[in-house]
Chains A and B, each alone.
Chain A
C-alpha cells in the first residue's frame, strides 16, 4: 500500500501516512486506508490502531484540491441540495454493481464516488472493533480534521499549528462528515460558530474546546499514543466494539432507543468469559481485602491499565 506504512507493536498497529509531497488526502490514500481497515477488521491479534503522519510535521492535510476542482468542474451543474442528495443516493446504489465504479469514474459523477469512498472509510473506522487513536503531529484542517474526528481518541502535538474546518473560506462547506461529527463531539453551539467563522484552533484551544483529548510535546506524541493503544488493547475487542457502538450509534438517537442499544451490548459483553473472569476477580478481591478495589487509587490504576486480570484469552 503506497501511501501508508504499517508497523505491528504487540496488539497495536501503528499506521504512518506518507503521501508526498504534502500528505494530502486523495483517492489513492482513501483506497489504501480502506484496504488496510478491511484487512484488520475482526483480526483478534490487534486491539488498537494508532494513526499518525510519517513526515515529522505533517499529519493528513486537506483533500487534494486539484481532484476536488476536477470533480466539481466535470460534475454537478448548479443544483439544489435535495437534487444533489438524490443523485448521490442513486449513484451509491449503482456503484455497488460490478464494473459500475470504473464506468462511472469516467462520467461527471466521478467526484461523488470519491466522497462516497471517503464517508465509507470514516464509518469503517467508527465501526472497527479496536480503538483508533489519532496522533496529530501536524496541522489538521478540513479532511485532516474530519479524519481525526472519525478516530475515537485524539492526541495532538503541542507545536502542530492548528486543527479545524476552514472550508467556508473556500466557498464550500465541510463534506467529510465534519458538520455531523464536530456537532456531536463538542455540541452544536460550538460547532456552528467554529464552522461559520472558519476558525481553526491551536492545540491548547482545541483541548479546552474538547476537540482533542490530550496535548503532548511533539517528541513524545507517538509514544503517548502507542502507550494508550497498548492499554486499550488489553481489553477484549468485543468490549471496545460494545462501547463504541453504544456511544457512537446510541447517543445520536432518541434516549429510549439509545438506552436499549447500550443494554443489549452490555448484556452481550457481560455474559462472555472475559467479563465473568474480571467480575469474579473483583468479587474475590472485595472479599479478601474487605474494600472495593476502585476505592484505592493504586488498585484503580492497575484495573485501568488492564494488568489485574488477563482479559485477552482464546475464549474471547
Chain B
C-alpha cells in the first residue's frame, strides 16, 4: 500500500503532505504511519516545526473513514450501558500495550476500540510535541479531519475550501476525536455547542470570524504563509514551545492555582535551559 503522506524536510521545518486516495480520509493506515512519524519527531531535535497539508487541493484529510468506524461498533450488542463500554475500552486499551495480548484482542469485538484509541493518542502526541504544528488546510476538513486540525497549534485555511467543522451529530454520534473538548476550549462553549448541535459547517470567512481558524489565505498563498510562520517559529527554544503548549492546553481548563503552578514549573525549566545554553 502506498504511504498516506509524503514527509519532506525544509531546513528545520517538516512538511507532511497528505495524499490518501480515493477519498482522502483518515483511517487505520494513516493513523499508524503518522504515529510512527510523530514518535520519531519526539526524539529529533533538528526538526523545529511541522506543517500538515494536503499534497494538492482537496487532499487535506476530509473526515474519518466511516466504514472503519462502522467496523469499530459492528460486533457490539446495541445498547450496553455507557459505563460498561467505557470500562471495556479501558481494559482493551491497557491490554493492548502487552504485545502478547494484541493477538487475542484481535478476535474480540473490542478490537475496534484500539483504532479509536490510536487516533486519539496520536492527537494527544501532536499537542505534547515540543514543536509548533501548523495545519495548512487546503480541503474540506470535517469530523476526524477537522479534529486533526484542532489538535494542531495553528490553523491556516485556504479561502476556497467549502467547509470545516463537526457534523457528527448528523450520523447520531457526538464527535469522538476530541472535537467537543478542543472546539469548546478554542472558541468558547457557546459557539462550540451550537456548532456541534446544529452543524452549519462554516465556510472560510465565517470560520475566521468564529475563531475556528487563525488565518484565511488565498489558496496559492496557503503553503508559503504556513512555511513562513513555521520558519519564523523554528528558532523558539524547544522547552519553551513545549511549556507554552502544555500550560495552555493542560493548564487553562484546570482550577487557576493548578494552572499557575503548571506555568511556573515550565517557566523554571525554560529559564534553567537558557542558563545552560
Q: Which residues of A contact B (CB under 8 A)?
A: 131, 152-154, 184-187, 210-211, 213, 228, 231-232, 235-236, 238-240, 242-244, 246-248, 250-256, 258-260, 262-280, 282-283, 286, 290-292, 294-295, 297, 300, 303-304, 306, 308-309, 311, 315
Q: Distance (Å) between the CB of B183 and the closest chain A CB? A: 8
A282 contacts B66, C-beta separation under 8 Å: yes
A278 touches B175 (CB 8 A): no
Interchain CB contact under 8 A, B198 and A232: yes
Task: With both chains docked as a complex, state the minimum distance between the C-beta of A46 and any C-beta of chain B, in angstroms.
Answer: 16
Task: Determine chain A's interface SS by DSSP, over half rule.
Answer: helix
Q: Is the CB of A251 within 8 A of B189?
A: yes
Note all chain B residues with C-beta closer than 8 A to A187: 188
Given the interface contacts A153-B197, A239-B169, does A272 sit within 8 Å of B116 by beta carbon?
no
Are A278 and B172 closer than 8 Å at their CB atoms?
Answer: yes
| Proximity bits, B158-186, A CB within 8 Å = 1, else 0 | 00001100010111111110111100110
Q: Is the CB of A153 within 8 A of B198?
A: yes
Docked-complex contact A272 and B78, CB < 8 angstroms: yes
Choose one: B70, B194, B197; the contact of A279 (CB below 8 Å): B70
Which of B73, B74, B78, B140 interacts with A295 by CB under 8 Å? B140
In the complex, what distance in Å separates the CA atom of A231 from the CA atom of B200? Answer: 12
Q: Which residue of B63, B171, B188, B210 has the most chain A CB atoms within 10 A of its CB atom? A: B171
Q: Is B82 touching A264 in the complex (CB atoms < 8 A)?
A: yes
* Cα-based distance from A264 to B23 in the complex (angstroms): 28
* A243 near B89: Cβ-Cβ < 8 Å: no
Q: Is the CB of B63 within 8 A of A252?
A: no
> Closest residue to A190 on the B side, CB-wise?
B188
Query: In the complex, A152 Cα to B196 Cα: how many Å?
Result: 11
Contact B23 A291 (CB under 8 A): yes
- Whether A292 pairs with B63 at a CB distance below 8 angstroms is yes
Q: Are B189 and A243 in contact (CB under 8 A)?
A: no
Residues 179-222 of B at the A interface (beta carbon under 8 Å) = 179-181, 184-185, 187-194, 196-201, 210
Q: Given the complex, which residues of B lie within 8 Å of A294, measured CB to CB?
A: 62-63, 140, 142-143, 163, 167
Asked if B85 CB lies within 8 Å of chain A CBs, one says yes
**Which listed residue, B74, B185, B193, touches A248 by the CB 8 Å rule?**
B193
Q: Are B172 and A275 in contact (CB under 8 A)?
A: yes
Contacts of B85 in A (CB 8 A): 264, 267-268, 271
| Interchain nearest-CB distance for A236 vs B (Å) | 5
Please name all residues of chain B whose beta carbon is closer than 8 Å to the beta carbon of A266 when the two chains form the complex.
116, 173-176
Interface 1/0s, chain B 77-110, versus A by CB < 8 A? 1111111011001000000000000000000000
* Chain B, 112-167, CB within 8 A of any chain A CB: 113, 116, 120, 124, 140, 142-143, 162-163, 167
Q: Which residue of A lies closest to B82 (CB)?
A: A268
CA distance A252 to B142 in the complex (A): 24
Q: Which of B77, B124, B180, B200 contacts A271 (CB 8 A)?
A: B77
- Contact A311-B181, Cβ < 8 Å, known A153-B193, A271-B73: no
Using C-beta atoms within 8 Å of the partner chain, give the interface range for chain B: 35 or more
CA distance A117 to B5 in the complex (A): 56
Contacts of A211 in B (CB 8 A): 190
B234 located at the interface, meaning its Cβ lies under 8 Å from any Cβ of chain A in the complex: no
Choice from B66, B83, B196 contacting A243 with Cβ under 8 Å: B196
A232-B190 contact, Cβ under 8 Å, with A239-B174, A254-B250? no
From the candidates A239, A247, A311, name the one contacting B180 in the complex (CB within 8 A).
Answer: A247
CB-contact partner of B174 in A253, A255, A265, A280, under 8 A: A265
| Residues of the A chain whose Cβ atoms lie less than 8 Å from the Cβ of B196 | 243, 247
Residues of A within 8 A of B86 (CB): 260, 263-264, 267-268
- Taking CB atoms and an 8 Å cut-off, the chain B residues in 227-266 that contact chain A are 249-250, 253-254
Contact check, B174 vs A315: say whether CB atoms are below 8 A apart: no
Determine whether the beta carbon of A304 is less than 8 Å from that of B253.
Answer: no
List the A side residues contacting B174 at CB < 8 Å: 239, 242-243, 246, 262, 265-266, 269
Q: Select one of A186, A242, A306 contacting B190, CB under 8 A.
A: A186
Given known A-B contacts A247-B192, A290-B22, A263 and B89 have beta carbons under 8 A apart: yes
5 closest A-B pairs by beta carbon, nearest first, are: A266-B176, A251-B184, A185-B190, A268-B82, A278-B171
Q: Which residue of B lies closest to A269 (CB)?
A: B173
For B142, the chain A residues whose CB sits under 8 A away are 294
Instruction: Verify A152–B180 contact, CB threshold 8 A.
Output: no
Whether A292 contacts B69 by the Cβ 8 Å rule is no
Bound CA span A186–B76, Å: 39
Neighbouring B residues of A256 by C-beta, 8 Å: 250
Instruction: Report the bound CA distance from A148 to B200 in whole Å.
Output: 21
Q: Is the CB of B73 within 8 A of A275?
A: yes
- In the complex, whether B72 has a CB less than 8 A from a CB of chain A is yes
